[in-house]
Structure 1
Amino acid sequence: MRKSDSAAEDRAKAKSVKPLRALWPFLRPHRQLLAAALTMLVVAAVFTLLLPLALRRVIDLGFDAENAERVDQYFIAMIVVAGALAAATAARFYFVTRLGERVIADVRKAVYDRVIGRSPAFFEQIQTGEVLSRLTTDVTVIQSVVGSSASIALRNILILFGGLAMLIATSPKLSGLVLLTVPLVVFPVLTLGRRVRKLSRESQDRVADASAMASETLLAAQTVQAYTHEARARARFGGLVEQAFTAARRRVEARAALTVIVIFLVFTGVVGVMWIGARDVMAGEKTAGELGQFIFYAAFVAGAVGALSEVWGELMRAAGATERLVELLEAEDAVEQSATPKPPATPARGAIRFEGVGFRYPARPQAAALSEIGFEIAPGETVALVGPSGAGKTTIFQLLLRFYDASAGAITVDGVDVRDMSAEGLRSRFALVPQEPAIFADTARENIRFGRPGATDAEVETAAKAAAAHDFLMKLPQGYDSYVGERGVMLSGGQKQRIAIARAILRDAPILLLDEATSALDAESERAVQQAVDRLSRDRTTLVIAHRLATVKRADRIIVFDEGRIIAQGPHDRLVAEGGLYARLARLQFSEGAIAAE
């Protein structure tokens, strides 16, 4: 993924347009549209090549009065050909552009569908901002190729080879001279084309770096401003933008060099051949019409080569963009889904078992997050997970939801190993209330309905009432239909938490995962929410990451973690009597008002 050394290695390997082959699976479903576009492209190229034939006849006839009728016929024929050419070109534009828009829509959906299901380990290797850059900048580059440049390239290839065939038919001698100039043009195209592609990939990487940094700081704009880091953020972003500009400038310079060399060589060769042809006409070896026809075809060939040199740079740039998107599509996930997943056990009971579980985060393989963890939770039991920061409590939740796979041991839910179930089947058994709830840029009603998309308005409001959210929601300007802003910026921390609790209540899952769901509430709201959670927990298995003694004392059992190991478990009174870490955390609760947070 996007590590500086691997990115440089990838760019060094970029030497051809072969990565564009990866677009074929997206083109294949639209073969009829592709065939229509190619047909119109061929028709347009054929009509283009017919024009010089009529022109030759006109020149050879001359402009004498006695040939006026035949001259008129040839000019009418040219108008008909021009009309057919215009119609075919318009049809080609329509089909090609439509194909490009369709393919790019499919590419965007495929990349997003792939990325949205990736585990957190995937996002430890690539920033969200870079993923967004690839979904926007890189896809736009590919769109220009599929919807335009590829068509132009194919059209000019047809004109190039068709024109060469007509050149040979018109004058083999002059055609041989033209062909001698081809190696002089092809060599710089291939050489500079590789450099353009390498620089294009580098340019896109630099844009992605800037996008990632902008996304990161804008999502934390209040923190940036609170710590007066605006100037530093501006300087850093400005530096990344300048790096992107420098990379883009180098790419543009390479393309400009490619263009000037190719065009100069092509037209110099054409002028030299025309010079020789003019002397042949003066010597009576050719007619003026043949020379005119040859000049036109030579101009077509030269124009096609010049256009291909321009388009080649675009194709190389698109190849780099395709490579980056293919990286996302083909990136291996640390959490592999079973090819033949087992269904969750029915009926759902909510039994959980950890057996000899060990785990290390991919980004920190040297440190064990969990070591030899083993415990069982009976259906309907409420268990509190307690311990200092970094003890492993949140990791338990992440392994249960299979955001990561355990390095050792086994985890089962209702007797079925979590690795044997599909992610969707497993997670349907859980309702999660994180300490920092995710609030989406939508209405309050839809944020609650996120827990169960098919829920009715009445069910949404019932869940809100149970979470003590109904009263404050009714005071919003449009009630439940009030827009809450990006990440819920229009709500307080406690209001966000109550919406998250309502969402979990609405989900109605057999296992609740609560990361101290009442930590941001005032005393009155906390009491109401705690009562709702107590009612909700009566017939459900509940795991609570507890930071408050009031929450801990309500649990049927407490599991105490320290440095990734279970050091004690049991009811509150017994653990206090035993002394040790739990007793110390309990004393801190009484004296300082909080147990150390995860």
Structure 2
Amino acid sequence: MAPLQGSRCASRWYGRDLVNWQEARAFVIAFCLFKPRASLATGLLVAIAGLVEALGLVLIIPLLQIAGGTGARGHWSTLLARLHIDSRPEQITLVLSAFAALMLVRAALISIRQSAVIRLELEFLSSLQIRLIERLGAAPWSAIVGLRHARVNRILGSDIQRLGQAAIGLVQSIVAAITLTVQLTFSMLLSPLLTLLAVLFVATGALLSAPLFRAARQVGDSVTDANLMMVNEVGQFLGALKLAMSQNLAPRFVADFSGAMTDSVQAELTFVARENRSRLRMTVAGIVMAGGIAGIGLGVVAVPVPTLVALLLILSRMAGPAQALQTQALEVVRALPAYAQIRELEAELASDRGLATDAILPALEVLSFDRVGYRHPRGADGAGSGVDALDLELRRGEFLGVAGRSGAGKTSFADLLVGLYHPQAGRILLNGTPVTLANHSAWRDRLAYVAQDPFMRHASIRENLLWSNPGASDAAIARALWIADADDLLARLPEGLATWLGERGSLISGGERQRLALARAVLRDPQLLILDEATNAIDIDGEQIILHRLREACPDTTILMIAHRLESLRRCDRILLFDAGRVVAQGSFETMRSRLVAVERDDATAAAPHAGQTQGAS
């Protein structure tokens, strides 16, 4: 995985990057500052729970003193005397009751803490997903058009899930660190020298486990890449399902997916094995350390037995948080590549078109292109396709046709009209006033766009229609269906508007999808309707009925129709003929007929070697 631009590693082990501390710091800060009050409250709960547990362990000292027959000493003796508790059974009962009460308080605090941690984690992940979707919705089309869908799906799916584990790991690491600090403080009060010996031992073990962190980062990179591979393969398989099944290509997809899964699982298992070996070594070393400290405490420092027992209990209790600190820190390191991917995607989607404005726009009377030019960055010639020096007008209620060979610039013109791209040259004027369409949410609210392969949600017909206008009445829906000549389709379906369309509308034909997409566009009541090969799956007679109804029912709507089929343009008031990004001719259907016939013939000739394949819009 490529690192974030400008990032650098602060630590290196064996000549290789251990952890990208900039990524780690960014993740920790983002999580802690997401809801600082909640984070602080959680930290306080952890500290109090650790303090209560340490106090409970310290009660072992007077308990052992009393049980050994020597009686409580020092501060404990003074405390019991003030409470007028003199008998041994009463003293033992009091200490045990205090210990039990402290453990109950600790259990209650841990329960409250766990609920707070889960809430913090879920809300943090939800905020990341919402922020990413908002960035997608606000990003310029130039950033969206080249985006891999598999990458976005992986980030919103597996990467976010891994970040959830990392968020828990981060909280647990903080919990462990606070618990260790509290326990270490009490241990230092009992025996500073023995505590320092234990700290030195733990620090040495931490240094020796450093390669495990590098391995965790490598596993994180490997899993991130494998997840992208798997999501990509599944997406391609589902997208080409009919082709794959009809030509027996499914085994190839299965083989690629299986290979990615096997590599990912093997990387995880290898890391887990290393982690388990490290944990076993640390356990053995901990036992040796406990024996050494006991020997030094009894034979060298001469620590009293009750104090030494309490110290060993505290040190043994520290083993759990210490191990948790390492384990959860490794979990965070493994998830850093996923967090880096989210940051990279957010940076790519950062809008360069400025804030969308809701400034009031006048109703469309004349929309003018004044020497407008735009060239896409891609293309074998280095220049890319697009349009050059466009000078034209669209008037309210006009039915404008757009024709030209594939690649002539028709769709680029429509994209500029919609506001997907900024003109690189020239101006767009609305009623004579220059306007940046890409920045106007009000402009996008006024138009409707119907593509050659319309998108349908995995939902009912009603839900798909209302997507464009959630408040539309049943009467408006019926009118839109009639205009799109889709009312007969509804009559044939037993469930009517409640009929489920399937994934991307797979349960109905291409022509039926186009009719429903047209109805959805009409339901928007647009001032500008753009039809980009939007009726090419509908027969000529059906198309003519739809276009006639459109003109009759929506006389004030400006309609822009991009089409390769000659008959589709017959009803247009004016036809623009594009070639090499320019308008080379325009006029009525009759005056343009011969040139349109030539374009249709050339397109048919060009498509002949690729019969059976779907030809995309230019």
> One fold, TM greater than 0.5?
yes
CA distance in 1, matches of 2:237, 2:347: 29
Q: Determine the structure 1 residue equivalent to 2:488.
A: 471
Partner of 1:515: 532
Take 2:580 and 2:91, find their aligned partners in 1: how far apart are those partners?
97
Letter in 2 for 1:584: A
Give the structure 2 partner of residue 408 of structure 1: 425
Q: What's the CA shift for 1:292? A: 0.2
Deviation at 1:554, TM superposition (A): 2.1
1:132 maps to: 153
SS at match of 1:89: helix
Query: Match for residue 96 of structure 1?
Result: 117
Letter of the structure 1 residue corresponding to residue 58 of structure 2: L
Question: How many Å separate the matches in 2 of 1:202 and 1:396?
Answer: 43
1:105 aligned onto 2:126: yes
CA offset digits 1:81-140 (Å, max 9, x no partner): 111111111111111112212222222211222223334433454421221111121212
* TM-superposed deviation, 1:396: 1.5
CA distance in 2, matches of 1:209, 1:90: 40
- AA aligned opposite 1:81: L
Deviation at 1:482, TM superposition (A): 1.5
Distance change in 2, residues 1:235/1:421 (3 Å): closer
Match of 1:269 among 289, 303, 308: 289
Contact 1:188 1:258 survives alignment (8 Å): no
Matched, 1:58 2:66: no
Shift of 1:440: 0.8
Name the structure 2 match of 1:178: 198
Asked if the contact 2:373/2:388 (under 8 Å) is kept, the reply is yes
Contact 1:60 1:287 in 2 (8 A): no
- Confirm or deny: 8 A CA contact 2:417 2:437 kept in the other structure: no
Shift of 1:586: 5.1
What displacement does 1:247 show? Answer: 3.5
308-317 vs 425-434, which moves further:
425-434
1:345 aligns with 2:350: no
The worse-fitting range, judged by mean Cα deviation, of 88-97 and 12-21 is 12-21
1:555 equivalenced with 2:572 (yes/no): yes
RMSD across aligned C-alpha pairs, in angstroms?
Answer: 3.3
Greater CA drift, 546-555 or 463-472: 546-555
Q: Secondary structure at the match of 1:331?
A: helix
Measure, in 1, the Cα distance between the counterparts of 2:546 and 2:186: 84
- Change in Cα spacing, 1:150 to 1:194, as seen in structure 2 (3 Å) is same
Whole-Å Cα distance in 1 between the matches of residues 605 and 102 of structure 2?
93
Q: Given the two structures, how large is their TM-score scaled by the length of structure 1?
A: 0.89
Cα distance in 1 for residues equivalent to 2:3 and 2:176: 38
TM-score (norm 2): 0.86
Asked if 1 retains the 8 angstrom alpha-carbon contact of 2:117 and 2:171, the reply is yes
Q: Aligned-pair distance for 1:472?
A: 1.0
User: C-alpha offsets along residues 507-558 of structure 1, whole Å, 9 cap, x if unaligned?
Assistant: 1111111113321123443232121233256322221111221222322222
In structure 2, what is the Cα distance between the partners aligned to 1:159 and 1:413?
66
Correspondence 1:528 to 2:533: no
Consecutive unaligned residues of structure 2, counting only runs of 5 or more, are 10-15, 72-86, 609-614
Q: Which residue of 1 aligns with 2:49?
A: 44
- Given that 1:402 and 1:418 are in contact with CA atoms closer than 8 Å, whether structure 2 keeps it comes out as no
| AA at the equivalent of 2:288 | T
Cα distance in 2 for residues equivalent to 1:418 and 1:250: 59
Q: Call closer, same or farther: CA 1:416–1:111 in 2, change over 3 Å.
A: farther
Give the superposition deviation at 1:327.
2.0
- Please give the per-residue CA displacement for 1:130-156, whole angstroms capped at 9, x wherever unaligned: 21111121212222333x323321222
Is 1:359 equivalent to 2:364 in the alignment? Answer: no
1:161 counterpart = 2:181 = yes
Farther-moved stretch of structure 1 (388-397 vs 268-277): 268-277
Partner of 2:13: none
* 1:210-231 deviation digits (Å, cap 9, x = unpaired): 1122122213312322332111
Contact map agreement 1:115 1:328 (CA 8 A) in 2? no
Alignment partner, residue 279 of structure 1: 299
Paired residues of 1:255 and 1:313 also in contact (CA < 8 A): no
Residue number in structure 2 paired with 1:34: 39
2:162 aligned to 131, 137, 141, which one?
A: 141
For the Cα contact (< 8 Å) 1:130–1:209, is it kept in 2? no
**SS of residue matched to 2:534:** coil
The reply to whether residue 565 of structure 1 matches residue 579 of structure 2 is: no
The aligned residue for residue 493 of structure 1 is 510
Equivalent AA in structure 2 for residue 35 of structure 1: L
**Equivalent position of 2:79 in the other structure:** none
Pairing 1:176-255 to 2, within 5 Å after superposition:
176-255=196-275
Unaligned stretches of 5+ in structure 1? Answer: none
Alignment counterpart, residue 584 of structure 1, candidates 573, 587, 598: 598
CA distance in 2, matches of 1:472, 1:78: 76
Tell me if the contact between 1:352 and 1:377 (Cα under 8 Å) persists in the aligned partners. Answer: yes
On the 8 A contact 2:459/2:501 being kept in 1, the answer is yes
Q: State the Cα deviation string for residues 407-427 of structure 1 (Å, max 9, x = none).
A: 333334444555365352232
Q: Deviation at 1:43?
A: 1.4
Residues 239 and 472 of structure 1, relative CA distance in 2, 3 Å threshold: same
Q: Which residue of 2 aligns with 1:481?
A: 498
Secondary structure of the 1:432 match is strand
Deviations 1:558-578 (A, max 9, x none): 22223333333233333346x
Please say if 1:151 is aligned against 2:171: yes
Aligned to 2:461: 444
After TM superposition, give the deviation of residue 185 of structure 1 in Å. 2.0
Deviates more, 1:315-324 or 1:27-36: 27-36
CA displacement, residues 144-202 of structure 1 (integer Å, 9 cap, x when unaligned): 333x3233212221222222222222112222322332331231344432431232133
Deviation readout 1:455-499 (Å, 9 max, x if unpaired)? 112211111111111121132121112111111111111111111
1:351 alignment partner, SS class: strand
Identity %: 24
Change beyond 3 A, Cα 1:561–1:240? farther
Worse-superposed segment, 159-168 or 26-35? 26-35
Query: 305, 312, 328: which one pairs with 1:295?
Result: 312
Separation in 2, partners of 1:347, 1:124:
30
Distance 1:555 1:455 in 2: 29
Contact 1:513 1:542 in 2 (8 A): yes
Do the aligned residues in 2 keep the contact of 1:357 with 1:411 (CA within 8 Å)?
no
SS at match of 2:420: coil
Structure 1: how far apart are the matches of 2:214 and 2:20? 5
The answer for the alignment partner of 2:21 in structure 1 is 16
Displacement of 1:261 in angstroms is: 4.7
Give the counterpart letter for 1:310 in structure 2: T
Counterparts of 2:123 and 2:150, CA distance in 1? 25
| Structure-2 change in CA distance of 1:221 and 1:96 (3 Å) | same
- Which sits farther off after the overlay, 470-479 or 344-353? 344-353
- Aligned 8 A contact 2:370 2:391 in 1: yes
